[in-house]
Amino acid sequence: MQTARFIRFNYVLTALLLLVMMASGANAKDLASWQDTASRQAIVDFVKKVTKKSSPDFVPEAERIAVFDNDGTLWAEQPIYFQLVFALDRIKQLAPQHPEWKTTQPYASILKGDIKGALAGGDAALMKIITVTHTGMSTDEFAASVSAWLASAKHPKTGQPYNKMIYQPMLELLEYLRKNGFKTFIVSGGGIDFMRVFAEDAYGIPPEQVVGSSQEVKYSVINGVPTLTKLSGSPFIDDKAGKPVGIYQHIGRRPIFAAGNSDGDYQMLEWTTAGKGARFGLIVHHTDAEREWAYDRKSPIGELDKGLTDAPAKGWLLVDMKNDWKVIYPFEKKK
């Protein structure tokens, strides 16, 4: 009986410990790659106050919507946006079917490896690059081309596949929020169907919780097969003032938590944190030239100028990658 009592006592103790851990809103395992700084504390404090039933800031689970930018917030974006790398690689792959590209811009520059030259054509050149790589095929064919690229392409600096260059502390933040009843969404300027190919595996975010830029799609039955075809023309750009619009059209309610890293996220943070009740705005500030990249106000990719200036007055948390994060990428942990 002594043994039985001891076992029972241990069960009770374990249960009590679990309750204490649940009540504290975070345990040692949560946000493990975050340094024990004010940034981590601010996140934990916010989650505590919106999830505690007796708190004046309590938010019902259904309304715990958290939105995350992707480029520079969940995965890296240097030296150029990864989706652009996909498009450039895809042009090289498709070139044999387009002999005319050897003498037409921006393709000719791309095929010579002169990316700067290719992009010198500005928005018009970019639109051509996107059109030939992202439209004129079925949605299944497009997804397959993204999958194949992710499986083979490697980042020039780290030698890692692009979908491994995701931020470990942000993965833990997503997980921590979900554990506390949040529904996590991506709201990115990137292509909605580009991101959906890897978002579930990389971030635990299912396709239906990915919001992004999109192009028209047409439904038709081709040789008896129902098919969705990606078209060019009238794209929706889910960036800047487009982000609150994307949130409204896809999610239909205002988030209580928003995370971004550039001025492209300014309006999303503004819209989110202007709502009534407790709100949280977070900006990932790229301060780590050694482990990642250091850039903000003057960067052509991921420019953070207005957001950096206004963050203190707006009450947005500036996460300092260098000092707030123990590791950057998951593959560092495994070393």
How near is the Cβ of 325 to its own copies at its closest, in Å? 29
| Nearest residue (CB) to its own copies, 122 versus 226 | 226
CA distance 220 to 228: 7
Query: Which residue reads 């981590």 in tokens?
Result: 40
Comparing CA positions, the residue from 311, 44, 50 lying closest to residue 172 is: 44
241: contact with its own copies by CB under 8 A: yes
How near is the Cβ of 96 to its own copies at its closest, in Å? 30
For its own copies, the binding residue among 37, 208, 323, 332 (CB under 8 A) is: 208
Comparing CA positions, the residue from 136, 127, 88, 94 lying closest to residue 109 is: 88
Comparing CA positions, the residue from 13, 16, 15, 319 lying closest to residue 170 is: 319
CA distance 230 to 249: 20
How near is the Cβ of 273 to its own copies at its closest, in Å? 9
CA distance 78 to 328: 14
313: contact with its own copies by CB under 8 A: no
191: contact with its own copies by CB under 8 A: no
Stretch of 46-54, 71-79, 125-133, 221-229 lying at the interface with its own copies (CB under 8 A): 221-229
| Binding positions for its own copies, 130-169, rule CB under 8 A | 139
First-residue to last-residue Cα distance in the chain:
48
Beta strand pairing call for 257-260 and 225-230: unpaired
Stretch of 20-28, 106-114, 237-245, 257-265 lying at the interface with its own copies (CB under 8 A): 237-245
Comparing CA positions, the residue from 285, 8, 332, 335 lying closest to residue 164 is: 332
How near is the Cβ of 243 to its own copies at its closest, in Å? 8
Residues found near its own copies in the complex (CB under 8 A): 62, 65, 139, 183, 185, 192-193, 196, 200, 206-210, 214, 217-221, 225-226, 228, 234, 241-245, 248-253, 267, 270-271, 274
